[in-house]
Structure formats: structure tokens, C-alpha cells
Amino acid sequence: MRIKHTLQLFTILILSLVLVACGNESTSDETGEGNGERKEEQTGGTLDVAYASEPDTLDIMGNASSPTRDIAWHIFETLVALDKDFAVKPMIAEDYSISDDQKVYTVNIREDVKFHDGSTVTAEDVLASLERWRLVSSVGKTASENIEEAIVVDDLTVEITLNQVYNGFLDDIAAPKTGLAIIPKEIAEEAGEKPLTPDQLIGTGPYQFENWERGKEIVLTKFDEYSQREEDWGGLTGKKEAILDQINFLIVKDPQVKLNGLKTDLYDYAQNIPTDLYEAIEATPNTNPVTYINGYSMLIPDKSEPPFDDLKVRQALNYALDKEEIAQSTYGNEEFYEMDGALFDPTQTELYSAEATDSYLATDKEKAKELLAESDYNGESVTIMYSNNNEAYKRISQVVQQQLEEVGFVVELEPYEWATYLEKWQDARNWDIVTIGYSTRFSPNELGFLVQDTGSSGWYNSERWSELMKKWGVATTSEERQEILTEMNQTVSEELPFLKVANETTLDIMSDEIQEYDAWIGPRFWNTRKN
Amino acid sequence: MLHYTMRRILAMIPVLFIVSVIVFMIVHLTPGNPAFLILGEDSSPEAVEQLEQQLGLDQPKVIQYFDWLKNIFIGDLGQSIYSEESVTQIISERIGPTFSLMIISILLTLIIAIPIAIFIVWKRNTFLDPLFLSGSLLGTSIPEFWLALLLVLGFGVSIPIFPVAGYIPLTDGFLSWIHHLLLPSIVLAAVEVGLIARMLRDSMLESVNQDYTKTARGKGVKERKVLMKHVFSNALIPTTTVVGVTIAGLLGGTVIIETIFTIPGIGQLLIDSIHRRDYPVIQGVILFIAFIYVLINLLVDLLYAFLDPRIRYD
């Protein structure tokens, strides 16, 4: 008898499961209607963003990773910020002036700029933020060496005096990664060198931090008291209107899930899609690809040890490589790479110089063999190390291996997962060449792969480069800067501290419900509408 | 019975101790350093050293291990290197989705496997039996990730009945909770159904022709009742073992399924922590999983005694 009951129970359970499945079909229909209503309002709504990797922290001052930047730049703002052409424009500052000797910067803060906790930005807050920035930011540490003192003139005016002429100062405080974000004084002092905790995430941006459920989502909501600028400058400044009520950054790692989620309206925007899927996306209705520049890929030889401490071997390396072939077989679609030997992207008009990049595409296998014969290289194994979390680095390394072996190098590939890679990178004994990419940078100071005598630059030591960096600091006019940039290209071209492969373009996808979206260099959702 | 239970509980301690040693060693012998990860690619050696000090990573490994062990006894698994939340707190936040997934899939498994097995034993001499055997073999052989992708494509994208990813907690409504979990649970269940149904069928077939079943039939008891009362209840012991192992194994299976369906559970937490070298979290999660595993085995053993008086009286 009992068993009979059990069987009946099973049947009921199965039936109820089926009912549940059907019942939910109608619930999702209702949400569909909800979206329809929003269509008429044109403002408000929630944006669901499938974001590929969870940031470790949202402390934009201290952490230079892209996930931190992409989410935190909705929350925090800087005194001055980059516009869409990468020029420095005021943001929290009303305006600024530079003294005739170029050492004293006087910054006037806009009136009534509100923090998310309701307080108003004052000169004290700016000063405290500056002090913290000098401690925690890699850019801030460099700038710090040039700062003599910073004082409060009045409630809304700060005066920063430099100990020498250093024209990179404004670029440094405006850096999209680890720039001088303004936070309330108490928080800046309380946090000190430690990363900001979630309840310390108080900025002045159009969106405020609401909630972070680790492993699942980061929620930002519209900041009602946001003090908006009106200029149409783009980038990270000018008019930044919070039209959407809420932005959910959902952590979604699998690209196929992102694509499926976008197709089924689960997400409105999905970040970091493998470029292989480009054609599939173009063929999908209601889905649009979004592309933007994302720095470039490169090979960095270890210049502290044989064989690549010898310039001849580095030249042989450069002549041995057919970069067009490497890029073609790595990125495939021409939409996603560009062959350009400059240090900066062509869209960065103030920083771009195409002069003196002759060695970039100088393929000559015979010359490579000759140089190799002249050098001390005698067939020892060359280790190319890369991180296997990125498909592009893997493919580049494989093609490079093949091309180098053609001219007589003996090459070994060593892939590691990212954490192991980072540790191995700092010890010259582990590698001879690394394959890596650097995201778009906005000043020569930020080129981490050229910072003297560090693991990241493969222990690059060059008086010539250091001189140029000093000159860059004191250059005032556009023409002077262009000249220095050309000399920088020349130096890189001759000394070969790193070998650029190709400019990279990143692919995101968005639903066609998103309106007026401007890609720039990463996902930013102010001034963005959703139907 | 009490003595038996106590003995079994005490036996858990050495197992967990050994697990703790192994976990600590594997985690700390893996190359990679959280300080490099936190500071990023352009970090200076001084900053790395300073952070290591701050995180206590400069201490000798043995001291780190005993510090950790000492704190476990007072219920403190340490705190995450990244979020500075306590590990117990983090695990308790992430256990909900994983348990939900496990409960639904094990219920699904039993609901499907038990009736099928009974039915097959009832029709044991027909063509259904070989059909069932190949079917169950197919079920256990299908790779989970493949079935998951296929189901998502079928019932998430082409016929959008189920969401392709995500998780809604039970507290936000039963219907959306189960709606989000049904597809991943089906994947997990599909693999287990074959195994459990097969196990149940085999054990039932063993007792179908035993003397006591023959006697029952001889008394004129109906075949249906014979199967349910005599055959099925005798087959429960070996099946319980398999179900126990299955539940424990589901913890492993959920790692893949949670990734595919972006369910923020223990499996995802573990993978993320490994990528970040968040030592306290990795150690805490693995120890927790080991604890659950041992606990389920204990419950299975105790359940034997309950199901079969012969074990109880030993």
C-alpha cells in the first residue's frame, strides 16, 4: 500500500514539475510586456551587462586592471579627464591654470559637486585624495617624485607646486587607470594604502555603487544628485547623463553563454567576445558588434641575459619575424588587427607618430641568419613564455616559434596560467621572450613594457630612453612632443627593447535595444538609452 | 547504535586532518603569488614584498599551516586575501546555489530512476530490458558539458522555455528558482539516472528468484506486490550506497555545470579562488567539500542500520 502511495507521489511530483516549467513560460512573457512599456518612456530601465572577469577591487586609484577600470569609472571621477580625442579637459575641476614657470598648478573645483554620501567636494577632499593617490597608484608614485607641495587656497581651490617642470602631470592625474579619483577626505585617510572596501566606494560619478555579490554581480544605480557638466566632450568627461536607472554587471565567463544570453534577452551587452564569433554575430538579428582599440600585442626579449642581451641577436629576431603572417594567422579577420609600428594608436592624435618605425616590418630571413652567425648565439634553447588565458598570445607564440626555427633558433614554448605566469615573469632565469599584450596607454609614462630595469620590460636599460622620458616631462608644445615621439620610435626601432606585433581591436556585442552607445576604449553606460 | 554512531563520527577526524595537510601542501606548492596578482603586471619588487608581509605570506609554510589549523578548531577558516571577508561567510553565501542544484538534481534522479527500474524488472523478460541497458549506458557515458550545451541550445535558444544562464535564490520566489535550475539539474540527473536505475535493477533482479519471493508468489501474492514489498526493499541497501556516492560526486559535477550556467556556487568560487591564489578560500572550500563528502558517507552508513536491522544488531 505504501509503495502505491509513493508511486502516486512520484506522478504528482513529475506533473508539478511540468506545470512549473509551463507556468514560467507565461512569467517570462509578462516581463516581455514590461519592456514594451519602457519603450514609450525612453529613460530609466535596467541594463544587464555580461562582464567577462570579476575585478579584485573597485578601487580605481590603486588597481590598474581593466575590469576595475570598466566598472569603477562609472563611480569615480577625476579633477581633469580625457575627452574622446584623448585630450585633457576639466571634469570635477571648473578650470585650472599653470604658472609661467610651469611649476604651479592652480585648480578651481566646480561648486556643489556632490559625493554619493551627500557631502560636497571641497579642496580638503582633493588634497586627501591626492595624498592617497601618491601612495597607491603606480602613475601617482611617478608623479609624486615631481610634487613639491600641495596646499588648500580656499574651499574650492587647490594649488599644487612641482619641484621641476613636469608636463606629464595633468596626463597622470587624468589617467583612465589609476588616475586621481576624488573621494571624501575621511575615506581617503581611513583607507590609506589599503584597497577601498565596498562601503568606501564613494565617488562623484553618475552611477553609485549599490551591491556586490561576489561571483555573481556588481550593481550600480543612478546617482540622483549627480552634478552634470553640459559640454559634449565624450571620453571620460563632458556631459555624462545617467539615463538608465540601474546597471548590473553580471559575471559571465563563457563566450557562448554571453552570446546565447544576448539572443534570449537575458543580457543587453556582453563584453569580450572571441573574434572568431564575429561572423556569427553579424548574422544574428537584434545583435550588434561593438569594436574598439585595445593596445597591442608584443614580444619582449629578456635583455639582461644571453642570448638577447646582444643587440645583434635581437636584430636577427626582428628580421626573422614576418609580422603580417603572425597577425594574419592570429587574428584572422582584418577588422581585429592593424599593422602599425608606432607606440600609440593612430586615433590618439596627440601621441601618435608614424615616423621612424622602419624596423617594424623589416622581414629578411637571410639577414637574420647572417646576424645570428655573427653573434655569440650557438644554438642554445630560447624559451618563449606566455599566459594561456589568452588565445592570441598562444597563437602568436606558436607562429613565432616556427618562424624563428626557420632561421636557426632553437625554440621552446612555455605556457602558464596567469598567476604562475606573473610570478615567473619577474625572474629572468625563467624566460628569454614573453608574448604579451598591453591595453591602450595614454602617456609614455604608462608604457609598462619600457619602464627601466623591471621584469615587465625585460630589464631594459637605456640612457637614451631615460633622456627622452626626461625631455617628454618638460616639453610644452605639440611640435616638441611630436619630435620626441619620433625619437622614441627611433630608439625602440634601433634598440629593440620589445617587438610590436599588431594593434588589437576588442569585440563586444550589444542588443539593438541599446541606443546612442559610444564605444571609445571600453564599456561606459552613461548617455546610453535602452528601449 | 549510539556507540556505532560515535565511532563513525570520531573516524571523520583523522580523514579531515589528512585532507587539511594535503590541501595546504598542494595549494602552497603551486607556483603563483597573490601579491603579484593584486598589484598587477607593473608592480615593483618592494611593493610585492610589503604586501606579502601584510598578508602573512612571508612566514614559513609550517607556521602558516599550524596557524590555519589552530583557527579551524575555533571555527575560523581565515579570511579571503581579496575581499577580506571571512571564509566561512563566503562559503555560506555561495553554498545556497550549489545545494539547490544538488537537491533538485538528486530528486529528479530518484523520481526518474526508481520507477524506471521497477518497471524494467516487472517487464524483465521483454525487449525492454536490453533497450534499458543500452539506454542507461548511453546516459552515463554522455559528457555533462556536451549535454549542457545541447540543452541550452535546444531549450534555451531555439525554443526559449528556460533561461540560458543565471540563478535566482529560493527567497526570491520558488517558481523562478526552479525555473533557473531545472536545465542544469536535468544535465546532472541525466548522468546519474542511468547509474542508479541500473544499480537498482540489478539488485532487484538478484532477489526476484530468491526463495522468499517464490514463497510469496506461492502464497498467491500478486506480482506487483511481490516486487514492491519483497524485491524493492531488499534492493535498497546497495542502491543507497550508490545514491550516497552520487550525491557526494554531484559536488564535483556542479563545478562544470555552474560554470556553463553561470551559477554562483561553491564550484565557481573554487575555480575563481584558484585562479587568484586566494589560499584561505581554496583551503576552506576544499576542506568543506571533504567534510560534506565524509558526512554523506556517514549518513549512508547510519541509513544502512536503519534500513537493514541485520546491520544494526551486529
In a domain, A9, yes or no: no
The answer to whether residue B278 sits within a structural domain is: yes
A78: in domain: yes
Count Cα atoms within 13 angstroms, Cβ side, for A50. 31
| A520 and A449 co-located in one domain | no
CA–centroid distance for A34 within its chain? 35
Q: Higher pLDDT residue, A312 or A63?
A: A312
> What total of structural domains would you count in chain B?
1
* Phi, psi of A515, rounded to the nearest 5 degrees: -115, 155
pLDDT digits (tens, 9 = 90+) for B241-257: 888 888 888 887 888 89
A27 assigned to some structural domain: no
Instruction: Say if CB B160 and CB B151 are below 8 A apart.
Output: no
Nearest CA in chain B to A51: B262
> By residue range, what is the domain housing residue B130?
94-312
Average of per-residue pLDDT across A278-282: 86
- Whether residues B165 and A420 touch (CB distance < 8 A) is answered with no
User: By the CB < 8 Å criterion, does B197 face chain A?
Assistant: no
Cα separation values, A477 from A348, A471, A481, A486, B162, Å: 16, 12, 6, 14, 60
Is residue A485 in a domain?
Answer: yes
In a shared domain, residues A205 and A76: yes
Q: What is the CATH number of the domain that holds B102?
A: 1.10.3720.10
Same domain, A334 and A410: yes
Do residues A123 and A157 touch, judged by C-beta distance below 8 A?
Answer: yes
Q: Please indicate, yes or no, whether residues A502 and A520 belong to a single structural domain of this protein.
A: no
In-domain check, residue B184: yes
The 10s digit of each residue's pLDDT in A26-48 is 333 334 334 444 444 568 899 99
Longest dimension (CA), chain A: 99
Mark yes or no for CB contact B38/A254 under 8 Å. no
Nearest residue in A to B39, CA atom: A63
Report residue A418's pLDDT band, with 50, 70 and 90 as the boundaries: confident
> Nearest chain A Cα to B262, which residue?
A252
A22 closest CA partner among B106, B188, B182: B182
Residue B45 covered by a domain: no
For residue A82, the cross-strand partners are A88
B17 domain residue, yes or no: no
CB contact under 8 A, B90 and A214: yes
The answer to whether the Cβ–Cβ distance between B260 and A254 falls below 8 Å is yes
- Residue among B27, B37, B41 with most chain A CBs within 10 A, to mutate: B41
What is chain A's Cα-based Rg? 26
Cα–Cα distance list, A86 to A60, A150, B265 (Å): 19, 26, 41
HEC per residue, chain B = CHHHHHHHHHHHHHHHHHHHHHHHHHHHHCCCCHHHHHHCCCCCHHHHHHHHHHHCCCCCHHHHHHHHHHHHHCCCCCECCCCCCEHHHHHHHHHHHHHHHHHHHHHHHHHHHHHHHHHHHHCCCCCHHHHHHHHHHHHHHCCHHHHHHHHHHHHHHHCCCCCCCCCCCHHHCHHHHHHHHHHHHHHHHHHHHHHHHHHHHHHHHHHHCCHHHHHHHHCCCCHHHHHHHHHHHHHHHHHHHHHHHHHHHHHHHHHHHHHHCCCCCHHHHHHHHHHHCCHHHHHHHHHHHHHHHHHHHHHHHHHHHHHCHHHHCC
| Optimal mutation site among B26, B262, B281, interface A, most CBs of chain A within 10 A | B262
Domain enclosing residue A520, as ranges: 66-268+513-530
Q: Could B157 and A197 be called an inter-chain contact, meaning their C-beta atoms sit closer than 8 Å?
A: no
Of B33, B90, B268, the CB nearest to A423: B33
In a domain, A37, yes or no: no
Rounded to whole angstroms, the Cα distance separating A211 from A61 reads 20
B137-159: per-residue pLDDT in tens? Answer: 888 888 888 999 899 999 988 88
* pLDDT per position as a tens digit, A194-219: 888 889 999 999 999 999 988 889 99
pLDDT at A316: 94
Task: Give the C-alpha separation, A308 to B181, whole Å.
Answer: 55
* Same domain as A218, residue A313: no
Three state DSSP letters for B144-183: HHHHHHHHHHHHHHHCCCCCCCCCCCHHHCHHHHHHHHHH
**Mean per-residue pLDDT, A71-82:** 95
Q: CB-based contacts of A428: which residues, under 8 Å, 6+ apart?
A: A302, A304, A305, A455, A459
In contact, B43 and A432? CB cutoff 8 Å: no
List the single residue in B37, B160, B269 with the smallest CB-CB distance to A215. Answer: B269
Length of chain B: 314
Q: How many CB atoms lie within 10 A of CB B171?
A: 8
Q: Do B42 and A253 touch (CB under 8 A)?
A: no
pLDDT (0 to 100) of residue B314: 53
Residues of chain A with C-beta less than 8 angstroms from the C-beta of B232: 3
CB-side neighbour CA atoms (13 Å) of B246: 27
Say if the Cβ atoms of A420 and B31 lie within 8 Å: yes
pLDDT at res. B84 = 75
Rounded to a whole number, what is the distance in angstroms from the first to the last CA of chain A?
59
Asked whether the predicted pLDDT for residue A282 surpasses 50, the reply is yes
Do A71 and A216 have their domain in common?
yes
Task: Please check whether residues A209 and A332 belong to one and the same domain.
Answer: no
Residue A456's contacts (CB-CB under 8 Å, 6 or more residues apart) are A300, A425, A448, A449, B41, B42
CB A331 within 8 A of CB A392: yes
Same domain, A218 and A166: yes
User: Are B42 and A251 an interchain contact pair (Cβ–Cβ within 8 Å)?
Assistant: no
B184 half-sphere exposure, CB direction, 13 A CA radius: 32
Residue B39 to residues A135, A296, A437, B45, Cα–Cα distance (Å):
13, 21, 17, 10
B158 near A CB under 8 A:
no
Which of A219, A270, A253 lies closest to B258 in space, CA to CA?
A253
pLDDT tens readout for residues A330-348: 998 888 999 999 999 999 9
Looking at the structure of chain A, the number of domains it has is: 2
Tell me what pLDDT residue A194 has: 81
> How far is residue A486 from each of residues A35, A111, A469, B31, measured CA to CA in Å?
53, 42, 13, 41
pLDDT at res. A5: 55
Q: Do B115 and A216 touch (CB under 8 A)?
A: no
Chain A nearest C-alpha distance from B11 (Å): 35
> A196 in a domain, yes or no?
yes
The angle subtended at Cα A131 by Cα A125 and Cα A137, nearest 5°, is 115
DSSP A111: T
Query: How many Cβ atoms are within 10 Å of B152's Cβ, its own excluded?
Result: 25
30-89 of B, contacting A, C-beta below 8 A: 30-34, 36-38, 40-45, 48, 82-85
Smallest CA–CA distance, residue B12 to chain A, in Å, is 31
Q: How far apart are the first and last CA of chain B?
A: 10
Residues A138 and A157 in one domain: yes
Same domain, A194 and A238: yes
Q: What is the mean pLDDT of residues A313-332?
A: 94
> Which CATH number characterizes residue A198's domain?
3.40.190.10
3-state helix, strand, coil in chain A (%, to 5): 40, 20, 40
**CB contact B164 to A (< 8 Å):** yes
Please give, rounded to a whole number of angstroms, the shortest distance from the CA of A319 to a CA of chain B.
Answer: 28
Q: Which pLDDT tens digit goes with each residue over B29-55?
A: 888 888 887 776 666 777 788 888 888
Angle at A186 between CA A181 and CA A191, to 5 degrees: 70
The answer as to whether B1 is a domain residue is: no
Find the radius of gyration of the CA atoms of chain B: 24
Instruction: Tell me: pLDDT of A19 over 80.
Output: no
Nearest residue of chain A to residue B154 (CA atoms): A260
The DSSP code for A430 is G
pLDDT above 90 covers a percentage of chain A that reads 62
Substitution target in A214, A262, A265, A385 with the highest count of B β-carbons within 10 Å is A214
Chain A positions touching B200 (Cβ under 8 A) are: none
Q: What per-residue confidence (pLDDT) applies to A352?
A: 93
Chain A CB contacts of B84 under 8 Å are 197
Query: Which of B175, B228, B260 lies closest to A3 in CB terms?
Result: B228
In contact, A247 and A49? CB cutoff 8 Å? yes
A38: in domain = no
Q: Look at residue A25 and tell me if it is in a domain.
A: no
Closest-approach residue (CA) in chain B for A449: B42
The pLDDT of residue A27 is 38
Using DSSP's 3-state secondary structure scheme, residue A80 falls into strand
Residues A195 and A238 in one domain: yes
User: Among all residues of chain B, which has the CA nearest to that of A23?
Assistant: B175
Q: For A42-122, where are the alpha helices, taking DSSP H only?
A: 66-72
Cα–Cα distance for residue pair A162/A102, rounded to 1 Å = 8
Flag whether pLDDT at B311 surpasses 60: yes
Cell numbers found for residue B35: 601579491
Supply the pLDDT for residue A69. 92
Indicate the range of A15-24, A292-301, A451-460, B231-240 predicted with least confidence.
Answer: A15-24
Partner-chain contact A215 B164, CB within 8 Å: no
- CA A59 to centroid of chain Cα atoms: 14
Dihedral class, residue B263 (left if φ above 0, else alpha if ψ from -120 to 50, else beta):
beta
Q: How far is CA B101 from the centre of its chain?
A: 9
- List the single best residue of A249, A264, A452 to mutate versus B (max B Cβ within 10 A): A264
CATH number reported for the structural domain that contains residue A451 in this entry: 3.10.105.10
Burial of B67-102, coded b for 16+ CB within 10 Å and e otherwise, reads: ebeeebeeeebbbbbbbeebbeebbebbbbbbbbbb
Q: Do A24 and B176 touch (CB under 8 A)?
A: yes
On chain B, the residues whose CB falls within 8 A of the CB of A264 are: 156-157, 160, 163-164
Are A175 and A320 members of one domain? no
Q: Select from B26, B265, B277, B49 the least CA-distant residue to A417.
A: B277
For B165-219, write each residue's pLDDT tens digit.
Answer: 889 888 989 999 999 999 999 999 988 898 899 989 988 888 888 888 888 888 8
CA separation for the pair A312, A319 (Å, rounded) = 10
Q: Which residue of chain B is at minimal alpha-carbon distance from A214?
A: B264
Question: Residue A65 pLDDT more than 90?
Answer: no
Could A20 and B179 be called an inter-chain contact, meaning their C-beta atoms sit closer than 8 Å? yes
**Mean pLDDT for chain A overall:** 88
